[in-house]
């Protein structure tokens, strides 16, 4: 019974922390995501990520970039995530297109996720460069 209670407490705390993370990140104007190194699948994404790509979370979570994006875009994402999986942080500006055809310039940062020194995945965020410039000019 004690082991059951410990597991229940762990999962309850984990779900609570995940809900907090979702609530906070869904309000930020950043597209954020995380991928698992072993499977290459997305394990999390923010609300703004869904907004940029016009698709709900469940169309990203559990899928690889090749199941979500056109092949050339997926290949680019895979290449930079592979650098993360080998310990390299990636920062770059990219010009891309939303599914509705709107052109957008994004600054993207991707970093390895480490637990106990072991790289277990990749986490990243992107923001609209023009939107950020507009916010910086507000007094």
Which pLDDT value is given to residue 23?
83
pTM (predicted TM-score):
0.76
Q: What is the pLDDT of residue 31?
A: 87
**Structural domain contains residue 7:** no
Residue ranges in the chain whose pLDDT is less than 50? 138-139
82 domain-assigned: yes
Q: How confident is the model at residue 89, as a pLDDT? A: 96
Instruction: Say if 119 falls within a structural domain.
Output: yes
DSSP 3-state assignment of 137? coil
Q: Indicate the number of domains in the chain.
A: 1
For 97: left if phi > 0, alpha if psi spans -120 to 50, otherwise beta; the answer is: beta
- Beta strand pairing status for 42-45 and 31-36? antiparallel
Residue 14 within a domain:
no
pLDDT at residue 20, rounded to an integer: 82
Per-residue confidence (pLDDT) for residue 122, from 0 to 100: 95
Sort residue 51 into left (φ over 0), alpha (ψ -120 to 50) or beta: alpha
Q: Residue 97 falls within a domain, yes or no? A: yes
Q: Provide the CATH number for the domain around residue 78.
A: 3.30.450.20
Domain enclosing residue 64, as ranges: 30-136
Query: Within a domain: residue 23?
Result: no
């Amino acid at each position: 019974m004690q082991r059951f209670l410990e597991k229940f407490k762990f999962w309850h705390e984990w779900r609570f922390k995940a809900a907090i993370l979702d609530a906070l990140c869904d309000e930020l104007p950043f597209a954020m995501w995380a991928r698992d190194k072993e499977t290459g699948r997305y394990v999390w994404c923010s609300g703004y990520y869904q907004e940029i790509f016009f698709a709900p979370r469940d169309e990203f979570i559990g899928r690889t970039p090749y199941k979500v994006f056109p092949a050339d875009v997926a290949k680019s994402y895979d290449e930079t995530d592979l650098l993360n999986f080998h310990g390299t942080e990636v920062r770059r500006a990219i010009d891309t297109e939303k599914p509705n055809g709107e052109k957008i310039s994004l600054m993207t940062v991707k970093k390895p996720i480490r637990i106990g020194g072991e790289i277990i995945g990749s986490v990243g965020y992107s923001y609209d460069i023009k939107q950020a410039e507009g916010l910086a000019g507000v007094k």
